[in-house]
Chain A
Amino acid sequence: MSQAPLIQSAGDANEPRHVKRRTPLAVRGEPMLWLTGMALTACIFMIVALLGIVLWNGFATFWPRDIHEVKLDNGSVFLGVPTREESYDPGPARLADIRAESETLPAGSLDDKGLPKRRLYRVGNKEVTGQPFQWVDLMDIESIEEPKDVVLLERTEWGIWLGTPETILLKEERFIPATADGGIPLEGMTQTKWGERRFEREILESTDEGARVIERTYVAETGPDVWELLPEMHRDADKRRARIKSLNKHDVGFINMKMERARLAFREVQLQHEDGKVSDERLAAARATFEEKQETLEAEYEELLEEIRELERIDDRYRIVVRDPTSGAFAPRAQTEPDEPMRLSQIVRVVRANDLGVGGRLGVYFSRWWEFVSEEPREANTEGGVFPVIFGTVMLTILLSIIVVPFGVIAALYLREYAKQGLIISMVRIAINNLAGVPSIVYGVFGLGFFCYTLGNYIDNGPTNPWSPGMWWVGSVGTVVILLCAAVIGALGRPTPGQPPTRRNKILGGAAMMLWLGTLGLFIALIAKSPFFDGFFPARTTFGTKGILWSALTLALLTLPVVVVATEEAISSVPGSQREGSYGCGASKWQTIRRIVLPSAMPGIMTGMILAIARGAGEVAPLMLVGAVKLAPELPFEPYFPYFHLERSFMHLGFHIYDVGFQSPDSEAARPVVWTTTFLLIVVVVTLNLAAIAFRARLRKRTRGGAF
């Protein structure tokens, strides 16, 4: 079509060519340019949109927003933090009503289509409202104010509380000796470290010597006083709380661990005794040691408990009254005790949102982020932090790389450097590449079935039905014989140097290969069926269940093809001339691999590792089966020996997103956590990748620089 004029004008070669002729569009390929450009733009748009949404939501979550005091047309008043707005369809009847009186409704309460708009308020105060979120029709709102003295309390339990702080008091039950005239002052002033303060007493029971009273000392009774004293007192309370927590967790945990070890040691002897392997005397001795140990540990425990109780008692004295204007109730110490004001230490953070400037808001914002990344989760994972989750994710990924990289590199080395390239090796290579396409949940099922239940159970309890000792010994001797045969036949079958293998070489080599494989199989069978091994943890399931080690192994398997393929590629791109040079210097094959091939291939290997990390760190499905849990009681790492507990289950960011977002009872409260966690997952994966990339760049500089 468009080529016709081209041919025509070329008719007479002597005629000067017309200069202005245009090459047709299709020939110049302009449309292809547009098409490819559009495709790229679409890709970039999707990436930017994805990152943008996650970033925006992830970043916005922790920004402290204003607290509204909303007065409704029906006269009720409540405090709430506006969360989002939407138009909704209230049904035809109601809609008709609304349209009829639309003139009188406040501006902005209907959208363009005439549908009513409503706003979701986070009202908190779960103890009195019952539900922490509440929809309000914009047309029902009479007025909105933003009083400066209202606060948003983030509490350790029961979510947020919105209200006005009124008093800080010390509440204490104590014994007061009677004064000279036999009375006990029920009111008065007393000296505290904050100055002269008013106190009230309530007598519980009195005797001649004095009385047990409940004493309330009002440290701060006005808003400004509260504000002045609160920061410092809160800090002290936090310190006490942290100390109690640390005692409970580490010191008690340490004693518990020692107790558990003693118990397990005794239980093992007991089990052996049941099997008849241990005499009665030894059992009795073991019991005696165990009981003695138990006693000392219990004494230690009592002492510790006493210290904790004392701290708790002090902690319980510091109270704050924050009143909700709607119900008039104050934030309680516990849901069942509406008359007890909450403890100061139950406050995580006080946000006086309406009174904060940008600086103050930034402070709150960053302190919330810090809490998020450094603390443990609270309230069914919807509040608090995700430190254990980050820790679990990072540790899993590192463990996974530690396992998969050496394994994959060694496999690739064999495939490329040692194996004779042929049909079998091609098939192996294809099989490995296809492993990459297996759905990840399949790996999860395999991991659960093989690692957890088979391997883990073996480690815990030993073989399920072992061979008899006689049979085992026969098997061992057989294995050694086959091994020797394999070695001898292999040696006989080696081709003469400088000569290609003969038929005899090939047959003998094949036979030796089969014998080697047989030896390997028998060896595994000998281990799996050994009658002399009863497992390391017969008393309690340790490895035979979900764990970070099994997860790392499962993911290593999943990412193995990536590493193998990348390494193979890197190895085969090392120039043959360098290998020849090395051999020419008298280097052995292994020396050539180690000194020439591997260093040059290192960046490629790192690329494989980066890809493996990228794939492994974001994987969730297999982890749900082999290791990730909703709430792990302990990290897989402890500051005392043996430090790493690879048998423990762990928390993982990917699984956490799924769990918080879709398994949580309070999805509205969980929504922000989902965004921030998603954001964190991206950050963790990107950080790990960047670290690997930086490492690779350094390696490249070292080797590439030397590559002449």
Chain B
Amino acid sequence: MTRTETSTAPTMDEQTHTSEAESAVKTRRVEMQSRDAQPAPDPSEFAVIDAIRRGETVPATIHDAVEDEPHVLNVQNFRLWYGAAQALFDLNMNIPRGKVTALIGPSGCGKSTFLRSINRLNDLIPSVRTDGELLLNGEPVYAPDVDVIDLRKRMGMVFQKSNPFPMSIYENVVYPLRIDGERRKSVLNEVCEKALRGAAIWDEVKDRLHQPGTGLSGGQQQRICIARAIAAEPEVLLMDEPCSALDPIATLKIEDLISEIGQRYTVVIVTHNMQQAARVSDYTAFMYLGRLVEFGPTAELFQNPKLPETEQYVTGRFG
């Protein structure tokens, strides 16, 4: 299977999905169309998925390789509600340090919600309530005395829809330093160049740094956003479907970039695209209806998963 065929994952409005199983299953149709015509087995045959659908708590299947790694994030019994609706159920997972971890799962299963919980971006939504522990380097993220602003500075975030600021490319990239009060030109210049090189877009924009980014393509804009996210040397880089709005070529570039960045940072990336997860990540977590189902090294998860439902999902026979 060639890369380009599958790299355009459907963009979906997450807000419109309900957490009910039926709708979650329906929304995976697009992925399924590109598979062979093998009939999808009835998901109700699978014990774990079944239990999850019934709302029961099933312990996640976590491969030992994950536990052996040093961890940057420890998630313990993490739960999250949007108002009365629970979106995350008893998440327990440890994210390895310095690796790329992919979050996969059907739409509306809470991947974005989980990602946004890590840097507490969910605080912006007044109705959100959380419970359980989320530790960054052993320190609780949700303790009352945590400085949220400082916490977010330690993480970079790349969003599904590229969101460059209305200022020059240069100012966009050094924004995290600017808000820190950094004024020294030399420092800013250096960071800017380093970040843009890191985001593999330096050569394309080095002559127009001080111009606004009008005319940049979608892929270039997303790479500017990545440069912004890595400018402040974050401990963790959070990426929420960074390629979903991009064309195949741009997607390729960003994927290469993620593999490269993954050598230096801890990256948590949400993706709808199995091939992308397989290509860029070291570890993959499969989520379903707000719960973690299986979490292990990418190669193992894709070729030799422990749960039959994971196999069905990664091969696209069930979503």
Contacts and interface: CB of A to CB of B under 8 A. Distances in A.
Interface in A558-606: 575, 577-578, 580-588, 591, 595-596, 599-600
Nearest to B177: A585
B252 interface: no
B213 A706 contact: yes
A387 to B, nearest CB: 43
Interface size class on chain A is 20 to 34
A497 B166 contact: no
Contact of A580 (B163, B176, B212): B163
Interface in B251-267: none
Interface stretch (B2-10, B17-25, B69-77, B150-158): B150-158
Contacts of B124: 580, 583
B38 interface: no
Given A500-B126, A580-B121, A587-B149, A599 B175 contact: no
A581 B225 contact: yes
Nearest to A585: B176
A491 to B, nearest CB: 12
B232 A599 contact: no
Given A497-B144, A705-B212, A582 B130 contact: no
Contacts of B130: 498-499
Contact of A586 (B146, B161, B163, B179): B179
B146 A497 contact: yes
A703 interface: yes
A261 interface: no
Contacts of B119: 584
Given A706-B165, A708-B221, A586 B159 contact: no
B178 A708 contact: no
Contacts of A434: none
Interface string B115-133: 0000111111011111000
Contact of B167 (A496, A500, A706): A706
B30 interface: no
B168 interface: yes
B214 interface: yes
B152 A580 contact: no
A420 B126 CA distance: 10
A698 interface: no
A703 B166 CA distance: 6
Contacts of A586: 149-154, 176, 179-180, 232
B148 interface: yes
Given A706-B166, A708-B221, A584 B142 contact: no
A585 B149 CA distance: 9
A703 B127 CA distance: 33
A419 to B, nearest CB: 12
Interface residues of B, number: 48
A438 interface: no
B187 interface: no
B123 A596 contact: no
A239 interface: no
B243 to A, nearest CB: 16
A704 interface: yes
Contacts, number: 112
Given A497-B144, A708-B216, A577 B129 contact: no
Interface in B185-241: 211-214, 216, 221, 225, 228-229, 232
Given A498-B120, A586-B176, A705-B214, A578 B166 contact: yes
A707 interface: yes
A595 B119 CA distance: 21
Contact of A587 (B159, B179, B211, B212): B179
A552 B190 CA distance: 49
A51 to B, nearest CB: 37
Most B-side CB within 10 Å, residue of A498, A583, A588, A704: A498
B43 interface: no
A585 B123 CA distance: 14
Contacts of A708: 162, 164, 166, 212-214, 216, 221
A500 B128 contact: yes
Contacts of B122: 498
Nearest to A494: B144
Given A578-B163, A580-B163, A498 B214 contact: no
A310 to B, nearest CB: 63
Interface string A504-545: 000000000000000000000000000000000000000000
A433 to B, nearest CB: 25
A583 B152 contact: yes
B228 A585 contact: yes
A584 B157 contact: yes
A600 B154 CA distance: 27
Contacts of A575: 163
B152 A498 contact: no
A576 B103 CA distance: 24
B128 A706 contact: no
Contacts of A591: 179
Contacts of B150: 586
Nearest to B175: A585
Interface-central residue, A586, A702, A703, by most chain B CB under 10 Å: A586
Contacts of A585: 152-153, 156-157, 175-176, 179, 228-229, 232
B19 to A, nearest CB: 19
A706 B214 contact: yes
A642 to B, nearest CB: 36
Contacts of A580: 121, 124, 159, 163
B121 A583 contact: yes
Nearest to A701: B212
A600 B212 CA distance: 13
Interface in B46-70: none
Given A498-B130, A577-B161, A704 B120 contact: no
Contacts of B216: 708
Contacts of A703: 166-167
A83 B4 CA distance: 85
Which of A578, A583, A704 has the most chain B CB atoms closer than 10 A to its own CB? A583
A584 B149 CA distance: 9
B165 A578 contact: yes
Given A595-B178, A706-B213, A706-B214, A497 B225 contact: no
A581 B165 contact: yes
B142 A498 contact: yes
Contacts of A600: 166
A584 B155 CA distance: 8
A574 to B, nearest CB: 9
Nearest to B167: A706
Contacts of B225: 581
A595 B142 contact: no
A580 B155 CA distance: 14
A703 B168 CA distance: 9
A707 B179 contact: no
Candidate in A578, A584, A588 with the most chain B CB atoms within 10 angstroms:
A584
Interface in A671-708: 702-708
A588 B214 contact: no
Nearest to B119: A584
A662 B119 CA distance: 70
B159 A595 contact: no
A583 B121 CA distance: 7
Contact of A498 (B128, B157, B166, B176): B128
Interface of B: 119-124, 126-130, 142, 144, 146, 148-157, 159, 161-168, 175-176, 178-180, 211-214, 216, 221, 225, 228-229, 232
7 contacts: A497-B142, A498-B122, A498-B130, A578-B163, A585-B176, A586-B176, A595-B175
Interface of A: 420, 496-500, 575, 577-578, 580-588, 591, 595-596, 599-600, 702-708
Given A500-B129, A578-B163, A583-B152, 15 more contacts: A577-B163, A578-B166, A580-B124, A580-B163, A581-B165, A584-B159, A585-B175, A585-B229, A587-B175, A588-B149, A703-B166, A705-B211, A705-B214, A706-B213, A708-B221
